[in-house]
Structure 1
Amino acid sequence: MNNTTDNSTNDTTSDTTSDATNVSTVTSTPASSAAASGLLAGKVAFITGAGRGIGAAAARLFAAEGAKVLLAARSEDQLKAVAEEIRAAGGVADHAVCDLADPASVRGAVDRAVELYGRLDVAFNNGATGQPPGPLDALSEADFDHVYAVNLKGAWVAMSAEIAAIRATAGRGAVVNTSSVGALTANPQLPAYGALKRALNSLTASAAATYGPEGIRVNAVAPGTTLTELLFEWDERSPGTVDALNARTPLGRAAEPREIAEAAAWLLSDRASYVTGAVLRVDGGMLA
């Protein structure tokens, strides 16, 4: 219903052109002083769908909270712009082009984070794709397969690579997946999207149970109506969607992408050290 989308089958190129010289070091500025004591200080973070929407907001926020960030998505122009913005603000950021529908490029992007920064501590699997709105019998098989490849299989591939990297380097860490409130109830307009996000919730719980004994926490955030490209595309195809969703939300408005990123940052931080296997609704009370 509400996640960023930055993946398709059109671009399956891994980024192997960046080098360590592109990674800024934090200088002694008021901003860097704040980052040194931030929520994610000292951590290396990997973020998918980081070119825009919630993913880009998360990249900016995680860097401001002290993390070194590796941004991953399909659009290199968008990734470069966000990474340059972070570096200009005194943060540490680089990028790797990847398509969640291409497992090799996803694994390559995770490897790039370790290559650049020497470790991986946390990961935010935010990248996703949408579907044409409408009843399930109106959805083409090709569209269903694409949503599956990106939103579920892509997340599975990313989690597998991230957990292996955390285990091999930091030893302990955390992963957050972006789900949706549309996975927690009937979703007649986005049935494949909702079903595959619900499957992602199950994958999240299973991973939490599996890797908890190793000190690796796995949680999910379930955004409500959020001002991302996916929402705007849905509203364009079905005018009045945003107004209708806001009418169902006690806070009466849609979330800004940063508001979702704040929840993810907390779940990835040590302040959430006893939270795992959770699906945290960030929905303005929509499902209260």
Structure 2
Amino acid sequence: MSDTEKFTRLSLAGAHVDVNFDTCTTFTVTAQAVAVPQAKIIGGRVAAAGEIPWQVSVQTSNGRAHFCGGSIISSEWVVTTARCTLDRTPEEIVIGAGSIDRLTPKSVHKVSQIFANSSFQTLFLTGDLAVLRVTPPFEWSLEVAPIALPSSRASTGLLATVSGWGTTSINGPNPVLLQRAQVPIYDNKDCNTLYSLLGGVPEDQICAGFRKGGVDACSGDGGGPLFADGVLYGVVSWGFGCATKFPGIYTEIFYHKDWIKKITGV
């Protein structure tokens, strides 16, 4: 095992987690200000126009820089992660919709309200979910449409799709065109065992990925959708590395469905 493999750093919002695989017993958490990592889809392909009409680009209002993904759930509401809204006001965010090209959205919407889940914890990302109210409302077309919320949990083995505008290789460039990849829902007990060194997987999150790795979202497709058959099962939250043998971790929509309805009516 190389020195890099022995000692790996996992970047989370607001902290670094250092894991020493020589000991396999302890890790150190150092609370400090760190940049929220950007999203990346690895092992996927370019999405076709209109293939994922609920996908939006969450951007800075000043400069229109893409920093997170999100999903349209109604004419006025977008689901993303709480991490994507950290230290941001509604005036600092705009939503780009209707295009697989993040630089040329068909419509741009201001954010009038941000509601982050009250259970959100920045260290291990429990409650990593937020909803954004937009203005003007979305107008439906072949390239702009809402995604349905689930009526049940995603079953283990379900082949789901994750999408976003992150880099297609570690430390590679960010693509202009929307990427998508397919990953199976991972058994939560097995995933929890893999992540036990980091405290396990929060009960409101699910895992998706291949046991051999190679296909994944990574930090910052953050807020982007994990979906199957037109149903939103999760949003990209965090993970250990990119496309490793550790599956990606997603905030589970079904777990928070009542909270979403309370805020949005959806």
TM-score between the two structures when normalised by the length of structure 1: 0.27
Greater share of residues in helix: 1
TM-score between the two structures when normalised by the length of structure 2: 0.29
